[in-house]
Amino acid sequence: MVKEGGFIPVPDLRDSMSYKSFLPRSLALKTPFSIARIEELKKLFGVIDKSIMDEYIQETLETCENSPIQDQQSSCAISAEDLIDFVVEKLGHHVCVWSTESIEGSYENVTIGAVKLIHANLFEPPALCHSMPFLYQVYYCHVLHKVKVYAVDIHAQKKQNHAIMACHYDTSTWNPNHIAFKLLGFGPGLIEVCHWINQNGLVWTKTIG
């Protein structure tokens, strides 16, 4: 579907809380960051029960504490230092970082421009870091084999965006209830799954050469 000249809808790429900043590591380490201490965390930041922020906190903590799927390495980075440490540990010091330029084209039908394959090695996994809704900046980072990464130019109402897309070529170990299967009508291992990288999402790849 994503090929030059194509006409497709793009989902909402907005970060639900795009104004967040990282805490300094020294402060982040002192902040309760677990389901077991959620009430302590909410009291510290004055979060009201059953508010949107309460839902965000629970969603992010549950994601960070869930066991990763088979062959996946994952971690939640609660400081900039944590993020860098994860990437260096998994990919080394020589890396490139890719991100979607803006949210232009979200919730619109767009025309696909140039499509460039920027990471093709299915056995040299990139690191994908997703910005999570939380009180401060938190990234859920994971490393998966058999992933290709594309840079895609999209044209929406005279505006142009340079978006990043990741394609997972092995979904055999994914949860059968994953939203991708519900949307696409297939099960684990029966289909490849591609998705746009949302605003503030980061894709890290090893530098070639």
Domain membership flag for residue 197 = yes
How many structural domains does the chain have?
A: 1
> pLDDT at position 174, please?
81
The arrangement of strands across the sheet holding 202-206 comes to 73-77, 138-143, 127-132, 202-206, 95-98
Work out the number of other CB atoms within 10 angstroms of the CB of residue 116: 10
User: Which distant-in-sequence residues (6+ apart) come within 8 Å of 68 by Cβ?
Assistant: 74, 142
Q: One-letter amino acid identity for 23? A: L
Convert 5-44 to b/e letters by CB count within 10 Å (16 or more is b): eeeeebeebebebeebebbeeeebeebebeeeebeebbee
Give domain status of residue 18, yes or no. yes
48-105 pLDDT tens trace: 999 999 999 999 999 999 876 666 789 999 999 999 999 999 999 999 999 999 999 9
| 196 vs 49: CA distance, rounded Å | 32
Helices 52-65 and 38-45 pack at an angle, to 10 degrees, of 140
Q: What is the mean pLDDT of residues 102-124?
A: 92
Inside any domain, residue 93: yes
DSSP reduced 3-state for 20? coil
Q: How confident is the model at residue 197 (pLDDT cuts 50, 70, 90)?
A: very high
Q: Is 2 part of any domain?
A: no
- The verdict on residue 111 lying in a domain is yes
| Count of beta carbons in the 10 Å neighbourhood of residue 70 | 8
What distance in Å separates the CA atoms of residue 80 and residue 84, rounded to the nearest whole number? 6
Entry pTM: 0.90
pLDDT tier at 138, thresholds 50, 70, 90: very high
Residue 40 forms part of a structural domain: yes
Of 131, 111, 125, the residue nearest 201 (C-alpha):
131
Instruction: Residue 18: give the domain boundaries.
Output: 7-206
Is residue 14 included in any domain, yes or no? yes
pLDDT of residue 156: 87
Q: How far is CA 48 from CA 13, 17, 43, 44, 133, in A?
A: 27, 17, 8, 11, 16
Does position 122 have pLDDT exceeding 90, yes or no?
Answer: no
Question: Considering the domain boundaries, does residue 1 fall inside one?
Answer: no
